[in-house]
Amino acid sequence: MDRPENQPLPGPGASAVGASCPLPIQRYPQILMAHGGGGTLTQELLDRVFLPAFGNPALDAAHDGARLDVAGRTIAFSTDSYVVRPLFFPGGDIGRLAIFGTANDLAMCGARPRWLSAGFILEEGLPVETLVRVVDSMRQAAAAARVELVTGDTKVVDKGKGDGLYVNTAGIGVVEHEARIAPSAVRPGDVVLLSGDLGRHGMAILSVREGLAFEPPIESDCAPLWEPVEALLAAGIRPHCLRDLTRGGLTSALNEIAQTSGMQIDVEEAQVPIIEEVRGACEILGLDPFYVANEGRFVAFVDPADAVRALEILRGHDVSAGATSIGRVEAGTAGLVTLRSRIGARRVLDRLSGEQLPRIC
Ligand code: MG
């Protein structure tokens, strides 16, 4: 709920929108948790604060990283900060997330992840043993993702001002092909492939945070994603767009791509895999798995002629063994994402308007 001192300010067009729409899409005088949720308020920060200040062709592409031409080579450059709570959870920890998250954003640009930086913000009083555990996990994750940590930084903030440990990583990847993999390359008729089941990461975090014991325990899907992407590229398949399904889950990713590409995306609910444990946990907690964060899942938009072969290739790799074809791109209504339910009804899959799961990554 909004605090009284944090009522939305009237913004451009806000009176007309605010009168009829309960969604908090106006400007707020203070930052809310939902500004970090990957939904409408995150988009509002981008549209009203960051893009007007820094806008340039690489940033305006609204991709998982910037694609840059440097001395005749094309690279991808990306950064991400990690504030997950708790630091350790079933299937991963903040260190694994910080390596795989940034490496995966590079992979989603079609770039081979190569070099990472790591910035640590440590809270006074953090046990050194905790830091060592996180760093060791990062070392193992970097080996698994075949990236090197080549530069870094450490800062310490006062006790009570840092919640233990935050990590920022930035990364550089090398683009070794001519294809332009980006939301703007999505075309009508493209088939949407999903690399596996949804919701494990979010529910793994939440089960620890809420003290819920699921049997068997739900583990995060946190994993590096370059391998299946590399296999698609090596087979000559040129996905039009790739996107990992982190904050805001499948729905936010599809909405962003529908908006940037000016296309409509139609999804078949029956084709979207969700394991029973995640479905049950979501029901108990009143969450929609379509909006829950993943850390080892992505969607690939491919030409219909490539769809069957691409699916076979994805299924040949452990991390994407559960891949399915979940929908299709239409010229239709720009920015619209729809879901056809198991009984055939079609509804709009809207962006998240509030914050479903804060501090998830
Ligand atoms: Mg991403």
Q: Residue 202 corresponds to which tokens in the numbers above?
A: 């979010």
CA–centroid distance, 125 to ligand 1, in Å, is 32
Query: Under a CB-based contact definition with an 8 Å cutoff, are residues 313 and 235 in contact?
Result: yes
What is the reported pLDDT for 3?
Answer: 39
Name the residue with higher pLDDT: 7 or 35.
35
What is the reported pLDDT for 214?
Answer: 82
Query: Under a CB-based contact definition with an 8 Å cutoff, are residues 122 and 182 in contact?
Result: no
Whether 103 has a pLDDT exceeding 50, the answer reads yes
Predicted confidence (pLDDT) per residue in 147-191, tens digit: 999 999 999 999 999 999 999 999 999 999 999 999 999 999 999
**pLDDT confidence of 212, banded at 50, 70, 90?**
confident
Predicted confidence (pLDDT) per residue in 291-313, tens digit: 999 999 999 999 999 999 999 99
Residue carrying the six token digits 């440990």: 165
Distance of CA 118 to the CA centre of its chain: 19
CA–centroid distance, 210 to ligand 1, in Å, is 26
Domains of the chain, start order: 23-50 (no CATH), 71-174 (3.30.1330.10), 183-348 (3.90.650.10)
**pLDDT confidence of 26, banded at 50, 70, 90?**
low
**pLDDT confidence of 248, banded at 50, 70, 90?**
very high
User: Per-residue pLDDT averaged across 90-94, rounded?
Assistant: 97
Q: Residue 164 corresponds to which tokens in the numbers above?
A: 């233990």
CA–centroid distance, 332 to ligand 1, in Å, is 26
Whether 12 has a pLDDT exceeding 80, the answer reads no
What are the backbone angles phi and psi of residue 77, rounded to the nearest 5°? Answer: -135, 130
What is the reported pLDDT for 6?
Answer: 54
CA–centroid distance, 331 to ligand 1, in Å, is 25
Query: Under a CB-based contact definition with an 8 Å cutoff, are residues 107 and 145 in contact?
Result: no
List, as one string, the DSSP characters of 228-252: HHHHHHHTT---SEEEE--TTHHHH
Q: How many Å apart are CA 231 and CA 227, to the nearest integer?
A: 6
